[in-house]
Structure formats: C-alpha cells, structure tokens
Amino acid sequence: MKVLVIGGGGREHTICYVISKSVGLEKLFCIPGNGGISEIAQINENISPNDFEKILQFCKENEIDLIIPGPEEPLVKGLKDFLEKEGIKVFGPDSKSALIEGSKSFAKETMAKAGIPTPKFEVFDDPNKAKNYVEKKGAPIVIKADGLCAGKGVFVCEKKEEAINAIEKIMEEKIFGEAGNKVVIEEKLIGEEASYIVITDGYNFRALPTSQDHKRLLDNDEGPNTGGMGAYSPTPLIDNKLKEKIETKVIAPLLRTLEKEGHPYIGFLYAGLMIVNKEPYVLEFNCRLGDPEAQAILPRIENDFLELIESTLEGNLDKIEIKEKDLPAICVVMASKGYPGKYEKGKKIEGLDKASQISNVIIFHAGTKKINNEFYTNGGRVLGVTALDKDIFSAIKRVYKAVSFIKFEGAHYRKDIGERVFKYLSSF
C-alpha cells in the first residue's frame, strides 16, 4: 500500500515512524514533511496541506492508496470530502464532523445535545454582549475563540480585566482573524487535565494508551500556554473506573449524536478533559491525534499501525484489540528560544546521533530542516525526544540523558515533564 501522511510536525513524524514498520506498506510519502521525516519517507515541501488540488494531483501521479492527515485544518476545510469524491481513501472525519474541533460553539452545542459533561458556557458574536456577560459573571473565567487558532485561542483569565482584554483581542483586534468572529465563554473548572484519545470507525471505538500533556512553557506549569512541551503515557490519573466513565459519558454519546446527524465520525478523536472529583468534564474535542501526546502514545502500541487503520476504515474495529507495551513512555519537547512567540530559525542542531544511540530513545522532528546531511531548526517546537523504560521514573532519567546530548542555540525545554505522576501515585 502507498500511503501519504499530511503534515510536517512531530505528530506526523511519529505517524510516519509507526507506519514505516507496517508489513503492508509499499511506499511512504509526506507533505510537506520535515528534516527528520525525510529520512523515512519521500517528502514534498512545495505542497501546502491545504492545497487540495495539488494534493490530488500528487496522489494520482504517485498512485496513493491512503491518506492520513495529521493536523486538523485540512480536515476542517474538507480534505476528506474532496478526495473521497475522487476515490482516494482518507483516514479522518469529514468536514461536518471535524467541526467538533473547528468550531468551539459547534462542539459545545453538540455536547449539550449529547448530554456530555462540560463546563457551563455561553456563545457570543457581539463583543459588547460578551463583555457585559463577563462583568456579571466575574472571574476566574475562560475565553475561547470559536475557530481554529493553532492552540493559541484559549485565555484562562483570573481577573475580569484579563477577560475583557481577551475579548477585545479576539473579537475587535482580530488577532486570530475570522476564527474570532465568535467567542465561547465558560466557567473555569479546578482539577487535573488529561488526554483521552480513541480510534473509531463511526460506531465502534478503541481507546489508545492514556496520556497527559504539559501545556505551559515553564517548569511547575508556569508561563504561557503552548502547543505542548511534553507528555507521558500512561497516566495513573485515569484508572479503569474513570476510563469507563469517559467512554460511557463522553465518547459513546458523541459518536451516537454525530452518527444520528448523518456524519459518522471516523478517525482519531481526542477528548481534552478536566478531571474534577474523579468525574470527567470535556474542555475540548480535537479531530486528530494530540501533539506531543502522539509521540508518547504511538511507540507504546504493539499493533501493526497500518492494519489498525485499514480495519477502522473497513468498519471492523470491533474485531481489534489495542495491544499496549508494558513500558511507560515520556516525550520532552525541545523548543526554539522565544517560542511560543517570535523565534529564530536556522540554528544548527548537534548531538542527535549520540542521543539516538541510547536504547529505547526515539527522536521525533517537529521543526527541522535537513541541509547537506545536517539538521537545522525550522520551527518553534523543534524536537520531541521520547524514551521508553520499565517504569516512569526510569523513563524520565533516560529521556533527560538523551536531551542533555542535543544542542542548538537558544534551546529551551522543561525539566519536569512527567513529574506529575509522583503526585498521583502518592495519593493512591
């Protein structure tokens, strides 16, 4: 089978990595790819993930059998709808179902229909009405741009002034463009965040290994939100009782609701949760794998990944069980100086060979470029260094040993990824 992965970040490198080990793979392509992906797949940097016509032409020229989109934007914009009319299989939801991530108001309204627990909310398309609501409700409160904002459209506001400022930035200054035409304003819940990701054929679903992301830039969960500075899997926060609650109160009702509306959801479904008193509340849904959660989750799956995806597309997921390695994994993101704000590119990366020689260490490239067999920074999040070991404590030691070998000017990473697990274990 000839497979095309869409995207060029760490998540897509991870998808390419696990697909490259599949027995049914004939050839692997990636658009636009990155420096690391170029070592295991044929990349084409000249095609945008949102240029559907050029992707179609590429598929015809290279006889592509299956497309696996990594990021959400092509799915929200209708990549599946467009290509499946041309007879090309796409693993992911159609544009209607992808609105579960593409529009926070759609997601909230769908959750309300399905009876899914989520923070109380209101939706506004008028900034003055939104500000008046904040004045009445007070703070802390959460302000969210309705559309896609590359993970930067959520403002957790401790004071009313911060919330008013967020509304002005989103709706009046239009810092996210059309994505800020509406805002969702919701109550702030106090609890523990966790990621729950499933693979689904629209009717059946299977949970992938549990994980927990680290969104804040700095140690001790301080600093601004980012796309994610690291993740670990599994998390003891989600035990079997909580898994059952998540699947019966969150995943199954959502799939039933979308199927009833004529758009069965196929692909990866990500529930971003807040666990409050051992009860799950949905903060957001994503229509794809998490990043960097994928870098911690996928290496722990023993199944042939291409077979898993084919079975899902054929509607046979009920016959598949996810086999999980008994080795915890941890991923530490190495970022450019200035991320998540402005950052420089073109810094030479050294020490990759030495780091990758450590057993059970995998280096996933997120923002890199390969020039004359040397790697250079080419993004905000540059690398995701993943390690597996017999327990999470050993995995933490292993991953930071690997990270210590990798150098580039301005490199920044958190030094406490995975340490939350100690708190959970001590509470049991």
> Looking at the domain assignment, is residue 150 inside a domain?
yes
Q: Could you read off the pLDDT of 392-415 as tens digits, one per residue?
A: 999 999 999 999 999 999 999 999
Judge whether 221 lies within some domain: yes
The secondary structure of 33-69, three-state, reads: CCCCHHHCCEECCCCCCCCHHHHHHHHHHHCCCEEEE
Q: Which two tokens stand for residue 217?
A: 């830039």
Do 212 and 166 reside in the same domain of the chain?
Answer: no
How far is CA 37 from each of CA 177, 300, 375, 417, 422, rounded to the nearest angstrom? Answer: 31, 20, 12, 25, 34
Stretch 32-41: mean pLDDT, rounded? 97
Other C-beta atoms lying within 10 Å of the C-beta of residue 354: 12
Angle at 264 between CA 103 and CA 91, to 5 degrees: 85
Q: pLDDT exceeding 90 applies to what percent of the chain?
A: 94
- Residue 224 has a pLDDT of 86
- Residue 103 falls within a domain, yes or no? no
Q: Which helix (H) or strand (E) holds 138?
A: none
332 and 399 fall within a common domain:
yes
State whether 307 and 267 are in the same domain: yes
pLDDT score of 422: 80
What band does 128 get if pLDDT is binned at 50, 70 and 90?
very high
As given in the structure block, the two tokens for residue 340 are 């998540």
Neighbours of 336 (CB within 10 A): 23
Average pLDDT over residues 99-111: 96
User: What does the pLDDT average to over 224-228?
Assistant: 88
- Find the farthest-apart pair of alpha carbons in the chain and give their distance in angstroms, rounded: 60
The CATH number given to whatever domain includes residue 274 is 3.30.470.20
* Residue 350 per-residue DSSP state: B
Residue 101 covered by a domain: no
Residue 326 within any structural domain of the chain: yes
Asked if residue 104 is part of any domain, the answer here is no
User: Do 214 and 228 contact (CB within 8 A), yes or no?
Assistant: yes
Domain final position from 187, 210, 236: 187
List pLDDT tens digits, range 230-275.
999 999 999 999 999 999 999 999 999 999 999 999 999 999 999 9
Average pLDDT, the chain: 95
The verdict on residue 406 lying in a domain is yes
What pTM does this model have? 0.95
Q: Which of 290, 355, 299 is nearest to 328 (CA)?
A: 299
Chain position carrying tokens 């019966």: 248
Q: How far is CA 316 from CA 200, 201, 321, 402, in A?
A: 10, 8, 11, 39
The answer to whether residues 153 and 216 belong to one domain is no
* Cis bond before residue 299 (omega within 30° of 0): no
Q: Provide mean pLDDT across the span 23-36.
A: 97
The mean pLDDT value for 226-233 works out to 94
In a domain, 313, yes or no: yes
User: Quick check: 317 pLDDT over 50?
Assistant: yes
What tens digit of pLDDT does each residue of 176-207 get?
A: 999 999 999 999 999 998 899 999 999 999 99
Structural tokens at position 253:
């009702």
152 pLDDT band, cuts 50/70/90, is: confident
Instruction: Please state, in angstroms and rounded to a whole number, the distance separating the CA atoms of residues 293 and 311.
Output: 23
Q: What is the mean pLDDT of residues 314-340?
A: 96
Q: In the chain, how many domains are there? A: 3
State the residue range of the domain holding 83.
2-91
Distance of CA 428 to the CA centre of its chain: 29
- Contact call for residues 298 and 17 (beta carbons, < 8 A): yes
Mean of pLDDT values over 131-145:
96
User: Taking the alpha carbons of 79, 80, 81, 86 in that order, is the dihedral positive or negative?
Assistant: positive
Same domain, 280 and 173: no
- Mode of pairing for the β-strands spanning 192-200 and 216-218: unpaired
pLDDT at residue 19 above 80? yes
Same structural domain, 175 and 197: no
Residues 183 and 196 occupy one common structural domain: no
Count of CB atoms situated within 10 Å of the CB of 419:
16
- In the predicted model, is pLDDT for residue 336 greater than 80? yes
Q: What is the pLDDT of residue 196?
A: 96
Show which of 187, 208, 242 is a domain's final residue.
187
CATH number of the domain bearing residue 53? 3.40.50.20
In this predicted structure, what is the pLDDT of residue 428? 41
Grouping H, G, I as helix, E, B as strand and the rest as coil, residue 324 is strand
Quickly tell me which residue has 């990798």 as its tokens. 406
